[in-house]
Amino acid sequence: MSLRSLLTTGLLAAGALAAPPGYGGSTVTVTVTEKASCSASTSHSTSHSTSHSTSHSTSHSTSKASTPKTYATSTPSSSHSSTSSTLTSSSATSVTTTTSSAANTNASTTILATATSTSYGLNDAAKKAGKLWFGTALDVPGTGEAQDPYYIAEFDNIHDFGEATPANIMKYEFTEPEAGVFNYTGAEEFFTAAAGKAVRCHNLIWSSELPAFITAPTVPWTNATLTAALRRHVTTLVEHFGDRCYSLDVVNEAFSDSPAGAYSANVWYNTIGPAYVVEAFQAASDAVRANNLAVKLYYNDYNIEYLGNKSYAAQALVKDLKNRGIQIDGVGLESHFIAGETPAKAAQQANMEAFTALDVDVVVTELDVRLTLPPTVASESQQVVDYYNTVAACVAVPRCVGIVVWDFDDTYSWIPGTFPGQGYGDLFLQPGGANTPLVRKAPYDGVLEALTGAAEAN
Ligand code: G3I
């Protein structure tokens, strides 16, 4: 029985765990253990307390086991009792989830130091797993997070984040606010903030965050005039950003969920038809070749993380572009998931392999796993498994070249603003709110376990 089956059949139901962590100040300890026939044993032990320590040891045995790790999930509370649940699957995978009122109440003052001085983190582990990096989106400059020293200190922690994606500042309305008038100020500040990290430039052509001259033109667009505007935007930005971008999301979210795989209606599609996607990639491809650039060209979308009509549509697009001799190097699998509704590791892996079979890379580009608030032991345990499965799928696919979370701190997550009543989807939180120390959450541990290959959760 898979770990997912164990969870969904109720063996890790909320009722089995008496003490929900909520936001009230408990800890979650997660152990993922896999028995392997003959392999090296890797152990990462991390404890959060007022005297934080992180240790790593490697030994050889016939089993792999990780020591339990305890992460504060919220602010201090004395009201929670201790409880635990241990699951063991027939495939020799076990997960132990423990909540307790452990007195790590003053940990926050040292946890920031942990976040900024960790000697081994997610990016280190990703690289060791053969990936290019583990990265994050962030919404800088000009936002609250850009001014939060604790947030920025963790972003700057190269042990955790070797890649940065601009959440907004490279989008059309910021880079070309008026027709033919390009503004690179924010994008350049982003490059400066991300110095030392790879940058996935996001995005060139999308239906959202467009300037008024595109959405409300004084003279109605024709196919020819809008195509010219699209090509100008793409060409100019490819040439300006150049190889400072590891990759460019040339087109974002072209396909619909209803009916799945159809083109979404938007100003581009409504005026140009499906050819707008080809035009955008043609312009990017031409600019890359004319300027002898190495930047990789990506298509990026959500609900293409599992096999289905929308994924098939994206696969057909890859084939079409390649048949036309147009450059496309990769597909971004956004991976905005919901705890308990995340595709299984095998399903994600099969989907990734369907893309890589077309001779493109894939990247998990916008990973987060949201919960219905408040979190419970069951939902947060599920969230750990869901993060684990997504990252483990990428680890299992050689041409899944990296993993990016869509911001790393609940304080600045896009989720609550878009899905009221949901959130808690990121790897860190700030118990004291903005401009206070960050605390690692249990999913951080699940991601690290997946990257170190310490267990098999599917
Ligand atoms: O810039 C204004 C600011 O002046 C104003 O004070 C503020 C008040 O709300 O709004 C600011 O604009 C917001 C912008 O983010 C910058 O923070 C917009 O209202 C808001 O709609 C916009 O949301 C962004 C969203 O894309 C736009 O659709 C999110 O931050 C961003 O995380 C999100 O990212 C997308 C990816 O690009 C594509 N995949 C899905 C992902 C999540 O929706």
Cβ neighbours of residue 420 closer than 8 Å, sequence gap 6 or more:
none
Cβ neighbours of residue 211 closer than 8 Å, sequence gap 6 or more:
172, 173, 176, 177, 178
CB-neighbour burial class of residue 283 (10 A; exposed 0-12, middle 13-18, buried 19+): buried
- pLDDT score of 118 more than 70: no
- CA end-to-end span of the chain: 9
Q: Kindly list the structural domains of the chain, giving each domain's residue range(s) and its CATH number in brackets, ordered by start.
A: 47-86+119-452 (3.20.20.80)
* Active-site residue, selected from the candidate residues 145, 163, 305, 366: 366
Pocket of ligand 1 (CB under 6 A): 139, 167-168, 208-209, 252, 334, 366, 414
In whole angstroms, what is the distance from residue 79 CA to residue 24 CA? 8
Ligand 1 centroid – CA 12 distance (Å)? 36
Q: Where are the beta strands (DSSP E) in 73-142?
A: 83-88, 93-100, 133-138
What average pLDDT does the segment 135-158 reach?
Answer: 98
Ligand 1 centroid – CA 168 distance (Å)? 6
* Helical H segments across 85-148, by residue range: 108-117, 122-128, 144-147
Q: Report the share of the chain in percent with pLDDT over 90.
A: 73
pLDDT band at residue 105, thresholds of 50, 70 and 90? very low
Q: What pTM was estimated for this model as a whole?
A: 0.81
> Using one digit for the tens of pLDDT, what is the confidence trace for 5-58?
323 322 222 222 222 233 333 444 444 433 222 222 222 222 222 222 222 222
Asked about 341 being catalytic, the answer comes back as no
CA 385 centroid distance within chain: 15
Asked about 163 being catalytic, the answer comes back as no
| Minimum CA distance residue for ligand 1 atom 15 | 168
Candidate of 165, 168, 404 to mutate for ligand 1, largest count of ligand atoms within 8 Å of Cβ: 168
In whole angstroms, what is the distance from residue 387 CA to residue 345 CA? 10
Quote the crossing angle between the two packed helices 275-290 and 223-241, to the nearest 10°: 40
| Minimum CA distance residue for ligand 1 atom 16 | 168
* Active-site residue, selected from the candidate residues 145, 163, 176, 253: 253
Ligand 1 centroid – CA 289 distance (Å)? 32
What average pLDDT does the segment 97-118 reach?
Answer: 33
Tokens (6 digits) for 184: 């690179």
Per-residue pLDDT at 338: 98
> Using one digit for the tens of pLDDT, what is the confidence trace for 395-446?
999 999 999 999 999 999 999 999 999 999 999 999 999 999 999 999 999 9
- pLDDT score of 106 more than 80: no
Average pLDDT, the chain: 80
Per-residue pLDDT at 119: 82
